[in-house]
Structure 1
Amino acid sequence: MDGPQPKRNRADINVNSDYISNLPADIKEKILAELSLKEAVRASILSSRWKDSWTSYPNLVFEEKNTKSRLIELVDKVLRVHQGPIQIFKLVSEYASNKCVIPSRFFSCNGFTLLHTLCLSHFNLPGFGIEKLVSSCPLLEHLDLNYFSQEGCLRILAPKLTFMKIIGDFHDICLETPKLVEGSICLFGDFQEFSAAKDGKESNFTRALGHLSNIQKLKIRGEFIDYLAMGPIPNNLPAMFNHLSEISVDLISGLNEIAPALCLFQNAPNLKELRIECLDFVDPPYVQGLWESKAIPYCLFKCLKVVNIMCFDDPGSERAESMLEFAKLVLSTAPLLEEFHVTDLGEAIVVFEELKLFPKLSEKCKLVLKYFNEETDDDEENNGDEESDDDDEENNSD
């Protein structure tokens, strides 16, 4: 029979409880690195020596969950007491109608000199705050700016930046990011009146994309293709896109978009994947021979392997005719083409049947019709239902 348990010595209790306090500094830093900011603050109650540990926490992530929250006030309090380097800074609001006005003083602390990841969503920075912020972070590698307004030119000076995503309303953009590998730019708003290229003397294309010599993946969203069309389109850029293998571009089938699109393709000799999505902003008049009217090199798509065209309009529409013309160009000039996907948003099956009649330079090319699932996100397709020209060949052989 077990006897009574001996009482624990108070000294033993203190020793055991003080174990956390006496952890080496490097172990404490590793523990904090695995915690969220909120968890790191809660850890301060573990012992007196952990009380201010969270103030050196390098990853600051703030998210606004409801419109009544005082997000800016919270960020201000944290930055005032923060010590040491900041490596990740994210300020995300989930409400489009509740943009955060970020005071420029937020980024005056020395901790941002070691920042490598910056994410801001639904925000405004006064004046040229974005430019000043980015240029003050010489080690910045990841930049994500969503839903903001910027008067004048948005200048991104970041020599070590490798990833960039921009969705915003700005008048001009100048990218000085020589190491950029993956970039996505979506422009919306009234930029035509304010762009430096409105007089036709300067080239928006060169200023925005002309120096991205290391780019591998590029997405052009919204009205950014129209922005690139302003001003003279250069035949040769300061630097070729020799590493660019994937391009995704939004078009609205306008004649003015052809020149910047061709400039992009011509300066990407190793392009392997191309995705084109037609937007529904306007329905411009269709011009017969829209793509054929330009001097297009025969080797334009010499390395292209996969094409995905989304938003074929109703058969016979001006938008559908324009895209059919472009599809004919690709099929007849891409010797290595393996897959040509058409994503159906309406009656694209008729367009798909017409595509089958076009001559194909590549014997390996397979035409695939995908049915878009409206319940999924815009970039997702219902891959369960597909049709291909191979299916017809099998049926005919039977």
Structure 2
Amino acid sequence: MASNAKTRRLDCGATVDRISNLPIHLKHLILDRLPVDDVARTSVLSKAWSDIWIMYPNLVFDDEFFSRLVSKKFPTEDKQVQLSEVSKTISNILLLHSGPILTFILNVPLHLPLHQSMNVWIKKISINGVRTLELFNREPVDYKMPSSFFSCSNLTRLWLVKCILNPPSKFGGFCNLIDVTLVVVRITGDMSFGTRLKQLALLHCSGVEHLGSHFKNCNNLTGLIIVDSEEIDWHLFQCTPKMQLKTLELEFGRETDVMKKVINLDKLFGNMPRINNLYLDGFFLESLERNASVLKRPITTLEKLNLEGVRLQNLVHIHNALCLIRSSPNLRYLRLVLAPEVYSSNNMDSLDASMLSVDMIPHQLKTVEIQEMIGSVTELQLVKLLLASTPSLKCIKIQNNNIAFF
């Protein structure tokens, strides 16, 4: 009995360090829930914890990190002192970390210009085999990515905000990138994110024309989002019959010079044989050429269609929206977000069931969502037309001023 009691006391932690004896993956899960500066402090606990810190692969310098560091440690210091201390803290953390750095996330706060130090940090993580890099720059000045960034050969996921990409003249592209999101990024020269890229999002970027290599037949791109870019060469989309593209979002968000270049629906979507999910805004609909009421080649793979900012007063919007619907025989989900404007009951006098080709009725359409309706005669005509032309419809959701009707 005495021996059992002694064993129980030991098991309760008298001499056994249960946390230190946990498997390495469980220790990493614990560290994942701590701020990165606290994670770094574990290296002084013991030799075992020092080894764990060296091999801990995720470094996250997010808003919480900067808030803790600045507000608690240097709340009354001037900006220069704050900048110096923050830069020193991050540099020391990276200096103590000699193992692989697979994830590096940095949210650069406003009024802390860390750009000069960031060059050193990115060189460090490029050497340590970084795979996920997320850099959110809030400074008013764009951050120019250093040359060491283009040597991150293990990179698989990239997210950049307010940066400049100036690729070296002999840059051959990344080898392992799969997912790229660029927000307010300026691309200054021809470059490639590599043939393994699957997801590409370009939001308010410039220099998009330098990414022409991703529209070649040999790439694996399955998802493409382009928002508010005027440098799109639409001929690139006409040379992609073997693309793997399944999800496409094209959003202008405003009237741009691109709208002056009329885009042919047949040429645009006829070269996307695998497209499954399509999102277009009203400004893009405005730029599409209005010709036939149905595409020469139906989009047989399209299952989800999202049209946002559709103006029912605009006959070009109406024509192109209906053309896409009736050219998608396997469409299952349709979402229309109507532009907030005053409609006239005479706008759709010509819109009736005859506008949908009999042999191209979307037989598979099961769900329809219409948002921002105000209950005009024009809108009701549209609803009646959809109801009369969709034999498999199971659910129609109409939203009026945040009130939904089913």
If the length of structure 1 is used for normalisation, what is the TM-score? 0.68
Query: Which residue of the partner structure matches residue 278 of structure 2?
Result: 274
Relative to its length, the structure with more helix (as a share) is: 2
Q: Distance in 1 between matches of 2:119 and 2:295?
A: 49
Shift of residue 76, structure 1, vs aligned partner:
1.8
2:175 pairs, out of 155, 159, 163, with 159
Query: Which residue of the partner structure matches residue 240 of structure 1?
Result: 242
Alignment of 1:63-78 (within 5 A): 63-64=62-63, 65=66, 70=83, 71-78=86-93
Shift of residue 53, structure 1, vs aligned partner:
4.4
CA contact (8 A) 2:108 2:114 kept: yes
1:23 pairs, out of 13, 16, 21, with 21
Name the amino acid aligned to 1:247: L
1:116-155 deviation per Cα after TM superposition (whole angstroms, max 9, x unaligned): 21111116786552x631x322222111112223467997
Query: Which residue of the partner structure matches residue 371 of structure 1?
Result: 371
CA contact (8 A) 1:179 1:214 kept: yes
State the secondary structure of the residue aligned to 1:114. coil
Q: Distance in 2 between matches of 1:80 and 1:339?
A: 52
Q: Distance in 1 between matches of 2:172 and 2:119?
A: 17
Name the amino acid aligned to 2:122: F
1:222-263 deviation per Cα after TM superposition (whole angstroms, max 9, x unaligned): 21xx21228x657424x721x322111113485445449766
1:331 pairs, out of 325, 331, 341, with 325
Q: 1:359 to 1:159 in 2, by over 3 A?
A: same
2:134 pairs, out of 119, 123, 126, with 119
Shift of residue 59, structure 1, vs aligned partner:
0.3
Q: Distance in 1 between matches of 2:16 and 2:144?
A: 50
Q: 1:271 to 1:25 in 2, by over 3 A?
A: closer
- Identity among equivalent pairs (%): 15
State the secondary structure of the residue aligned to 1:77. helix
Q: Distance in 1 between matches of 2:367 and 2:351?
A: 8
Q: 1:278 to 1:208 in 2, by over 3 A?
A: farther
Shift of residue 304, structure 1, vs aligned partner:
1.6
State the secondary structure of the residue aligned to 1:329. helix
Q: Distance in 1 between matches of 2:133 and 2:265?
A: 30
Q: Distance in 1 between matches of 2:172 and 2:112?
A: 25
CA contact (8 A) 1:113 1:136 kept: no
Q: Distance in 2 between matches of 1:16 and 1:327?
A: 72
Shift of residue 85, structure 1, vs aligned partner:
0.5
Alignment of 1:1-398 (within 5 A): 16-17=14-15, 19=17, 23=21, 26=24, 30=28, 34-36=32-34, 37-44=36-43, 46-47=45-46, 49-50=48-49, 53-64=52-63, 65=66, 70=83, 71-93=86-108, 95=110, 100-101=114-115, 102-109=117-124, 112-122=127-137, 129=146, 132-133=148-149, 135-150=150-165, 157-172=173-188, 174-188=191-205, 206-210=212-216, 213-223=219-229, 226-229=230-233, 233=236, 235-237=238-240, 240-241=242-243, 243-251=244-252, 252=255, 254-256=258-260, 258-259=262-263, 265-278=269-282, 290-292=288-290, 298-313=296-311, 315-316=312-313, 320-347=314-341, 357=353, 358-360=355-357, 361-364=360-363, 365=365, 368-371=368-371, 388-389=383-384
CA contact (8 A) 1:127 1:151 kept: yes
Shift of residue 177, structure 1, vs aligned partner:
1.9
Q: Distance in 2 between matches of 1:63 and 1:156?
A: 31
Query: Which residue of the partner structure matches residue 383 of structure 1?
Result: none
CA contact (8 A) 1:21 1:48 kept: no
Shift of residue 307, structure 1, vs aligned partner:
1.1
If the length of structure 2 is used for normalisation, what is the TM-score? 0.67
Q: 1:233 to 1:163 in 2, by over 3 A?
A: closer
Shift of residue 44, structure 1, vs aligned partner:
4.3
Q: Distance in 2 between matches of 1:92 and 1:356?
A: 53
CA contact (8 A) 2:162 2:184 kept: yes
CA contact (8 A) 1:117 1:141 kept: yes
Name the amino acid aligned to 1:368: V
CA contact (8 A) 1:181 1:214 kept: yes
Q: Distance in 2 between matches of 1:118 and 1:293?
A: 45
Q: 1:105 to 1:34 in 2, by over 3 A?
A: closer
Q: Distance in 2 between matches of 1:28 and 1:332?
A: 54
User: How many residues were matched structurally?
Assistant: 342
1:245-304 deviation per Cα after TM superposition (whole angstroms, max 9, x unaligned): 211111348544544976653332011221112469xxx9x78xx51359x961152322
CA contact (8 A) 1:308 1:340 kept: yes
Shift of residue 309, structure 1, vs aligned partner:
0.5
Q: Distance in 1 between matches of 2:298 and 2:22?
A: 60
1:200-221 deviation per Cα after TM superposition (whole angstroms, max 9, x unaligned): xxxx563353366212221111
Name the amino acid aligned to 1:174: M
Q: 1:353 to 1:141 in 2, by over 3 A?
A: farther
CA contact (8 A) 1:99 1:122 kept: no
Query: Which residue of the partner structure matches residue 377 of structure 2?
Result: none
Relative to its length, the structure with more strand (as a share) is: 1
Q: Distance in 2 between matches of 1:393 and 1:89?
A: 54
State the secondary structure of the residue aligned to 2:160. strand
